[in-house]
């Protein structure tokens, strides 16, 4: 049961990532692209934790945690760039 649920979840998040990808490359506005990339980061976290669960290992935890932290930084950086041009001022 868990296995099929996990497969379902995998499929959902994978599909979600493809949707994000679609948005990243086709969105009319760069703000949408940044948003899509940020969402991609979040889906990636989910996928990573899922994968770790499937393998029964905790080895992917750090990566997920770091992505949670860093996805934010890069998204803010992109946004700041559009808002201010200069991201450190």
Name residue, tokens 């979600």.
16
Residues in CB range of 72: below 8 A, 6 or more apart? 38
* Rounded Cα–Cα distance for residues 73 and 77 (Å): 6
Least distance between another protein and beta carbon 68 (Å): 4
Least distance between another protein and beta carbon 52 (Å): 7
Least distance between another protein and beta carbon 81 (Å): 5
Positions 24 through 83 that interact with another protein (CB under 8 A)? 24-25, 29-53, 55-83
User: In degrees, to the nearest 5, what angle opens at C-alpha 51 toward C-alphas 46 and 56?
Assistant: 125
Total residues contacting another protein by CB under 8 A comes to 83
């Amino acid at each position: 049961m868990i296995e099929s649920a996990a497969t379902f979840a995998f499929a959902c998040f994978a599909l979600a990532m493809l949707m994000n990808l679609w948005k990243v490359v086709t969105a009319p506005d760069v703000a949408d692209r940044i948003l899509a990339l940020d969402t991609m980061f979040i889906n990636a976290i989910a996928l990573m934790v899922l994968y770790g669960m499937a393998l029964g290992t905790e080895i992917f935890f750090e990566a997920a945690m770091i992505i949670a932290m860093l996805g934010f930084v890069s998204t803010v950086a992109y946004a700041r760039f559009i808002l201010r041009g200069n991201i450190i001022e």
